[in-house]
Structure 1
Amino acid sequence: MKTNITVLAMIAALGGFLFGYDTAIISGTIGFVKTQFNLGTVMEGWYVSSALLGTILGVSVAGFLSDKYGRKNILIMSGIFFALSALGCMISASFNGLVAYRLLGGIGVGMASMLSPLYISEIAPAKTRGRLVALYQLAITLGILVAYFANAYLLGVSESEGMANASGMTHKIFVTEVWRAMLGSETLPAVIFLLLLFTIPQSPRWLTMKGRKEKAKNILLRFVTNEEADEEIKHVEEILSKESGGIKMVFSGPFKLAIIIGISIAILSQLSGINAIIYYGPKILEEGGLQLGEALGGQVIIGIVNVLFTFIALWKIDQLGRKPLLTYGVIGIMISLIIVGLLFHFEINNTYLLMTFILVFIACFAFSFGPVLWVLLSEIYPLKIRGTAMSIATMAVWVGTAFVGQMTPWFLENLMPSGTFWFFAACMLPALYISIKVLPETKGKTLEEIEHYWLSKKE
């Protein structure tokens, strides 16, 4: 019986679900944590971005560890960190303890953010690789959406008559300090992810790289015929024989442009302002005239649009290609950011108009930057140092995210919402140039063919 690669991709993509959930669940807790621990603007930013520091730590070691010990084993480690972080945040006794557990969760996010798409790209056939890796981004958007629903639901529980008679720890977690229930709710999906990871095989490409051809072939035979398995192993061995130089391959020769493209797209994806909306959406929507409950409801709508438009990428990325999706998405992002800035600048207090263009922004990001980034990062690097190279590029995502998470409160306070959105719009100009002029099209090519493309280019 053949193993369904889509099922394996969906299990690996659960790392994206936890990434999205962990990223978004914090949005409903910021006000409560800020009040309880009497946080200023800088410490509020630290609460949000502390997990991102952990993410940078996680992604910085994930590549090396996965190249040495395998993609599957380090994914399992990330699942353990997710579960421990969720439980720890729920019971932490101090702000420093809370931050420490957020850091631990961040390490899990960092590992999963790199390894989930990498694992999927290494088991997927060329003709459906874009779609299968895009499942990871879809899982991120679903994680964000479920987190928004969880926040709205738990806020309702805390204010319900049914909890009026609760006492002790239950009252503390679900009523007086409901942020604990919000952060702790991640435990369930983390445990499910962890258990399912034990059912997936190692990456056949990684096993071949380690000289374990027989085991690699046995795994490949679960997906393809004997002839196709032999052919794939032969291609991987051929490309490995042409690779040399270890880590210096990342920074010199034909692969230098690949790493520059990866890092640039990674940072610019975050400078679009996507996480300013994810993290500080309620605060921004309140600035636009919504009450907190309405603002959290607005976040749920944002989450729904994010999921729906990711399906466009899932549907079209292997048909239209990576470049067109990214180009049209970036243009839409720029236009919507400029208009949202104008609405705030001229104090046009039409919340429906504000929500409309924020949703246009989310829609454009969801079918372009969101999925295309992870597809590109998982496919443009050489096998021998794929884990390490992807670590470097993925770290750039999180450096950008940490910058946005830390600086958005300052931007909103000093540049005002209008200046904040215009800053993000200006950052899209280099993204547009790279998308149109620099980025190669990789649709329909095997990972080995993409590698041949870089090797064929002159230094």
Structure 2
Amino acid sequence: MSQTQTKGSTMFIVGITLVATLGGLLFGYDTAVISGATEALKIFFVTPLESDPALALKVLGEYKIIISLCFVVVSLLVSSFMFRMYGKQKGIIYSAIVILAAVVIWYTQFWVSVNELTENTINSINGFTIASAIIGCVIGGSICGYVSQKLGRKRGLVLAAILFTISALGSSMPEIMNVFGTSTISAFIFYRIVGGIGVGIASMLSPMYIAEIAPANIRGKLVSGNQFAIVFGMLVVYFVNYFIARSGDANWLNEIGWRYMFASEIIPAFIFLIMLYFVPETPRYLIMKSREAEAEVVLNKIVGTNKAPQLLADIKESLKENNAPWLTFGGLIIVIGVLLSVFQQFVGINVVLYYAAEIFRNLGSSTENALYQTIIVGAINLIFTVLAIFTVDKFGRKPLMIIGGVGMGICMFALGFAFYFNQLGLVALFAMLGYVAFFAMSWGPVTWVLLSEIFPNSIRSAMSLAVAAQWMANMMISWTFPMMNDNSWLTGMFHHGFSYWIYGLMGLLSAFFVWKVVPETKGRSLEDMGKLWKK
């Protein structure tokens, strides 16, 4: 018997991990492509509303309908989570409370207040256009638990790749692919939401796939590789955006160039779709579906024939309670999963990633220089993500998260004060780059490691609640940033510094939360987590 058979094939593990991480690359590519087009999208879609009353009225009506549908979808998804956590009887009560609260918020804060094109309404439409993909991410993150159970981890990723491709085509040509007869901006928003559903699915299934394939001793490193792929995708698209922007003048960029930015996603999406054909399904899913012979073949390649029988038995034992109620292990695990996701977004990282070019323009850079500086942000993000990959299994999850939270808080406070005192030189630049570095070595990759590890096999689909919460928090942050940053009163009072102080406070709170509540998962098998929570 060969050494590969007895010990498992490292090349096999690395190979299928690399394919799975392409889902992370597309996740990063899709979310960061918007950074190069924020100004162009505002000029192309939003600015014409101010001079065309008929178009403004049409867009305003469609905007209200779209937001109303989003409220309905999100409310139904949250209600479905209530049933999974509390069962039928309590689920009905809590769902009714959620829906009633959503109706009150929707009517009082949105429906009756958005009836004319004011400064706040324009900023809101602009923010929603840029952040609209995140509505899809909320949907994708909410249904990915179901997708992972019914379609499997592999076919779920195939679905994500198809959605990425459709989104790339539709976002780049919203007039041509406007199948609903709506305004162009509404068609663009629709296709961004479609892509967001793919991102939401991939954001859970890529790390889940890797975690279920990887042995415990290198799982943290390999799952962190998914975050590496995310930030690598961001870095790639920063370069793509920069070179597209250099291909013409500002007018060309605002009319045509932004279309090439979105269309460029077709290439990595197609490559991902082809590569998925060559990877196996995860052994845990195969065992769940009573395909033990196939699972054993995969396990032999992962851990070798000596360890495969025992691991097979452990997985079967842990899956006896498969699809158990989400509160089987108590509510703390759900709270930890949700708050890890929420804090990862409330520290403001996607404000930096989505609006990096705009932030640099606020610092005094031209559009071309701002896009060039986003490449620096991407490079810092990549370098420090690599640092996390090589330290997460050595130092553990908690130390990195605590250090990162404190570091991000300090840097965000510094950036806010730099704006407030109009010191927009090296201090502001280093504060922003330092913030990105601290996030990349901690809350960026390590959050996904923890989320892929803390949920026992029997309630693994509960990870979808944490993923959905992450995208809801992302949506809230990304949508509200333009509303705060472009608000005349806040700008006059705080000179663009207000929002960064909020993110700085969230960074410090995130470190305190990890210190006090989150358990260390370093070196534990996924089967061990069930025993940990039962204690």
Instruction: Kindly indicate whether the alpha-carbon contact (under 8 Å) linking 2:26 and 2:230 is maintained by their aligned counterparts in 1.
Output: yes
Unaligned runs of 5+ in 1: 161-170
* 1:141 lines up with 2:231 in the alignment: yes
2: CA distance, partners of 1:313 / 1:89: 34
Please list, as runs of the form range in 1=range in 2, the aligned pairs for 1:181-260 lying within 5 A after superposition: 181-241=260-320, 243=321, 246=323, 248=325, 250=326, 252-260=327-335
Task: Specify which of 149, 155, 166 is matched with residue 84 of structure 1.
Answer: 166
| 2:393 aligned residue | 318
Instruction: Kindly indicate whether the alpha-carbon contact (under 8 Å) linking 1:217 and 1:229 is maintained by their aligned counterparts in 2.
Output: yes
Which amino acid in the other structure matches residue 476 of structure 2?
F
For residues 348-400 of structure 1, give each alpha carbon's deviation from its aligned partner in whole angstroms, at most 9, with x where no partner exists.
Answer: 132x22111100000000000001110011111121331x2111101111001
Please list, as runs of the form range in 1=range in 2, the aligned pairs for 1:31-70 lying within 5 A after superposition: 31-39=39-47, 40-70=122-152
Task: Specify which of 379, 386, 408 is matched with residue 453 of structure 2.
Answer: 379
Q: Secondary structure at the match of 2:242?
A: helix
1: CA distance, partners of 2:509 / 2:440: 19
2: CA distance, partners of 1:209 / 1:384: 10
2: CA distance, partners of 1:185 / 1:406: 25
| 2:52 aligned residue | none
1: CA distance, partners of 2:507 / 2:260: 37
Instruction: Kindly indicate whether the alpha-carbon contact (under 8 Å) linking 2:215 and 2:302 is maintained by their aligned counterparts in 1.
Output: no
Bigger mean CA deviation after superposition, 93-102 or 74-83: 93-102
Instruction: Kindly indicate whether the alpha-carbon contact (under 8 Å) linking 2:318 and 2:458 is maintained by their aligned counterparts in 1.
Output: no
| 1:285 aligned residue | 360
Instruction: Kindly indicate whether the alpha-carbon contact (under 8 Å) linking 2:13 and 2:302 is maintained by their aligned counterparts in 1.
Output: yes
Instruction: Kindly indicate whether the alpha-carbon contact (under 8 Å) linking 2:246 and 2:368 is maintained by their aligned counterparts in 1.
Output: no
Instruction: Kindly indicate whether the alpha-carbon contact (under 8 Å) linking 1:145 and 1:307 is maintained by their aligned counterparts in 2.
Output: yes
| 1:344 aligned residue | 419
Please list, as runs of the form range in 1=range in 2, the aligned pairs for 1:12-27 lying within 5 A after superposition: 12-27=20-35
| 2:482 aligned residue | 409
Shift of 1:69: 2.2
| 2:14 aligned residue | 6
Shift of 1:255: 4.3
Which amino acid in the other structure matches residue 478 of structure 2?
G
2: CA distance, partners of 1:85 / 1:145: 20
Which amino acid in the other structure matches residue 228 of structure 2?
L
Shift of 1:253: 4.3
Which amino acid in the other structure matches residue 143 of structure 1?
G
Instruction: Kindly indicate whether the alpha-carbon contact (under 8 Å) linking 2:214 and 2:302 is maintained by their aligned counterparts in 1.
Output: no
2: CA distance, partners of 1:224 / 1:426: 44
1: CA distance, partners of 2:138 / 2:336: 19
Q: Tell me the C-alpha RMSD between the 2 structures.
A: 1.7
* 1:436 lines up with 2:515 in the alignment: yes
Bigger mean CA deviation after superposition, 12-21 or 432-441: 432-441
Which amino acid in the other structure matches residue 259 of structure 1?
I
* 1:104 lines up with 2:194 in the alignment: yes
1: CA distance, partners of 2:191 / 2:534: 43
Instruction: Kindly indicate whether the alpha-carbon contact (under 8 Å) linking 1:56 and 1:110 is maintained by their aligned counterparts in 2.
Output: yes
2: CA distance, partners of 1:235 / 1:433: 35
Q: Secondary structure at the match of 1:221?
A: helix
Instruction: Kindly indicate whether the alpha-carbon contact (under 8 Å) linking 1:55 and 1:106 is maintained by their aligned counterparts in 2.
Output: yes
1: CA distance, partners of 2:336 / 2:518: 7
Which amino acid in the other structure matches residue 280 of structure 1?
Y
Shift of 1:221: 1.7
1: CA distance, partners of 2:148 / 2:133: 21
Instruction: Kindly indicate whether the alpha-carbon contact (under 8 Å) linking 1:67 and 1:385 is maintained by their aligned counterparts in 2.
Output: no
Instruction: Kindly indicate whether the alpha-carbon contact (under 8 Å) linking 1:26 and 1:48 is maintained by their aligned counterparts in 2.
Output: yes
For residues 71-112 of structure 1, give each alpha carbon's deviation from its aligned partner in whole angstroms, at most 9, with x where no partner exists.
Answer: 001110000000111112122212221111111101100100
Shift of 1:435: 1.2
2: CA distance, partners of 1:48 / 1:404: 12
For residues 217-237 of structure 1, give each alpha carbon's deviation from its aligned partner in whole angstroms, at most 9, with x where no partner exists.
Answer: 012122232231111111112
Instruction: Kindly indicate whether the alpha-carbon contact (under 8 Å) linking 2:404 and 2:511 is maintained by their aligned counterparts in 1.
Output: no
Instruction: Kindly indicate whether the alpha-carbon contact (under 8 Å) linking 2:380 and 2:433 is maintained by their aligned counterparts in 1.
Output: yes
1: CA distance, partners of 2:273 / 2:383: 27
| 1:366 aligned residue | 440
Shift of 1:427: 1.6
Shift of 1:175: 8.2
* 1:300 lines up with 2:379 in the alignment: no
Q: Secondary structure at the match of 2:451?
A: helix
1: CA distance, partners of 2:186 / 2:470: 25
1: CA distance, partners of 2:215 / 2:471: 28
1: CA distance, partners of 2:33 / 2:218: 31
* 1:119 lines up with 2:213 in the alignment: no
Q: Secondary structure at the match of 2:423?
A: coil
* 1:328 lines up with 2:403 in the alignment: yes
Instruction: Kindly indicate whether the alpha-carbon contact (under 8 Å) linking 1:341 and 1:420 is maintained by their aligned counterparts in 2.
Output: yes
1: CA distance, partners of 2:220 / 2:398: 12
For residues 123-154 of structure 1, give each alpha carbon's deviation from its aligned partner in whole angstroms, at most 9, with x where no partner exists.
Answer: 00000000000000000101111111111000
Identity between Structure 1 and Structure 2 (%):
38
2: CA distance, partners of 1:247 / 1:429: 35
Q: Secondary structure at the match of 1:347?
A: coil
Which amino acid in the other structure matches residue 185 of structure 2?
F
Which amino acid in the other structure matches residue 395 of structure 1?
A
| 1:168 aligned residue | none
2: CA distance, partners of 1:154 / 1:263: 38
Shift of 1:216: 0.5
Instruction: Kindly indicate whether the alpha-carbon contact (under 8 Å) linking 1:209 and 1:384 is maintained by their aligned counterparts in 2.
Output: no
Tell me: CA distance 1:175–1:331, structure 2 relative to 1, closer, same or farther (3 Å).
Answer: closer
Shift of 1:290: 1.7
| 2:504 aligned residue | 425
1: CA distance, partners of 2:157 / 2:310: 28
Aligned positions, number? 439
* 1:128 lines up with 2:218 in the alignment: yes
Task: Specify which of 262, 270, 273 is matched with residue 337 of structure 2.
Answer: 262
Which amino acid in the other structure matches residue 396 of structure 2?
G
2: CA distance, partners of 1:223 / 1:122: 10
Which amino acid in the other structure matches residue 38 of structure 1?
V
**Which 4+ runs in 1 deviate beyond 3 A?**
none
Tell me: CA distance 1:408–1:247, structure 2 relative to 1, closer, same or farther (3 Å).
Answer: farther
